[in-house]
């Protein structure tokens, strides 16, 4: 049932990505199959299910096998299925692609979501790749001096940059078809450890990202900027990145505790539609 993918660039591998085939997600899967899928997903960070044409109910039912719905505070869901968000961009739109900066979904929450599910509906013939960076492998490769330096540091996360009432989405001039909700609530701050231990695999990873991590607690602005910039440069080396190319009716689930991700553009003049569900970290 499992076909493993090695994603390689520059003669190296990100160690991300497992393709899961010969499984029908329209049906309720046996517990032993769910356990195998979860194990493969935890090991590889990103699970890929090609050829899955799912209804809203089927999409939700499969997602709920991995936990309860997460809280999506700044994205409005479908009226009939509020836990499904349309990641949508029309051919006529001039706005930048949604999710175009490196981030880990909702890392500004007290308990960020474990999993994000994205189901493709309309995929352009060009562009629109999603990139994933392995934050655990990036941590493992740090030298001992850097590991000691960052081991007990705390970082402040906030959604203010994109979602505040004076943030990016509130002040942009181009119209969007996506239901994005901006609010003063986005300015709230949440503190996390810079180095986090995955609750299921017990592996350490770098829990920072350029979109939601504002600064390192206890550092002055320059010190914080320099150290975070150095870590981001390290984390986004090609050897840590898996580039995913979409096809229609493809489902991805990724582990926000293992990867950060970003969406690329390059499909101006084409419609693009995917459905998104987040699953809470139990």
Closest CA to 100 of 156, 50, 168: 168
pLDDT of 9 reads: 33
Angstrom distance (rounded) from CA 150 to CA 147: 5
- Domain limits of the chain? 2-279
CATH superfamily of 2-279: Clavaminate synthase-like (3.60.130.10)
pLDDT band at 10 (very low <50, low <70, confident <90, very high): very low
Average pLDDT of the chain to the nearest whole number = 95
DSSP per-residue codes, 15-56? ---EEE-S--TTSPPPHHHHHHHHHHHHHHSEEEE-S----H
To the nearest whole percent, how much of the chain has pLDDT over 90?
94
Has this prediction a pTM greater than 0.75?
Answer: yes
Residue 164 in this model has a pLDDT that exceeds 50: yes
Strand partners, 116: 254, 278
Q: How many C-beta atoms lie closer than 10 Å to residue 251's C-beta?
A: 23
Strand partners, 253: 47, 117
Residue 134 in this model has a pLDDT that exceeds 70: yes
Residue 8 in this model has a pLDDT that exceeds 70: no
End-to-end CA distance of the chain: 27
CB of 6 closer than 8 Å to CB of 24: no
């Amino acid at each position: 049932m499992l076909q493993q993918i090695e994603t390689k660039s520059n003669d190296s591998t990100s160690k991300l990505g497992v393709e899961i085939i010969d499984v029908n997600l329209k049906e309720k899967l046996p517990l032993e199959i769910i356990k195998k899928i979860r194990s493969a997903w935890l090991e590889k960070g990103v699970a890929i299910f090609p050829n899955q044409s799912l209804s809203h109910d089927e999409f939700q039912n499969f997602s709920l096998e991995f936990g309860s719905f997460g809280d999506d505070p700044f994205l409005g869901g479908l009226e009939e299925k509020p836990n499904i968000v349309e990641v949508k961009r029309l051919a006529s739109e001039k706005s930048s692609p949604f999710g175009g900066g490196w981030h880990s979904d909702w890392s500004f929450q007290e308990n960020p979501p474990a999993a994000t599910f994205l189901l493709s509906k309309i995929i352009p013939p060009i562009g629109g790749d999603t990139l994933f960076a392995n934050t655990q492998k990036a941590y493992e490769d740090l030298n001992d001096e850097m590991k000691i330096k960052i081991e007990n540091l705390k970082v402040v996360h906030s959604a203010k940059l994109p979602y505040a009432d004076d943030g990016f989405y509130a002040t942009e001039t181009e119209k969007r078809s996506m239901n994005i909700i901006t609010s003063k609530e986005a300015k709230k701050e949440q503190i996390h450890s810079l180095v986090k231990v995955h609750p299921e695999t017990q592996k350490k990873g770098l829990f920072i990202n350029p979109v939601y991590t504002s600064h390192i607690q206890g550092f002055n602005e320059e010190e914080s900027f320099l150290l975070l910039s150095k870590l981001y440069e390290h984390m986004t080396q090609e050897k840590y990145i898996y580039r995913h190319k979409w096809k229609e009716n493809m489902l991805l689930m990724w582990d926000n505790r293992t990867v950060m991700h970003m969406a690329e553009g390059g499909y101006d003049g084409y419609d693009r539609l995917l459905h998104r569900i987040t699953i809470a970290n139990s």
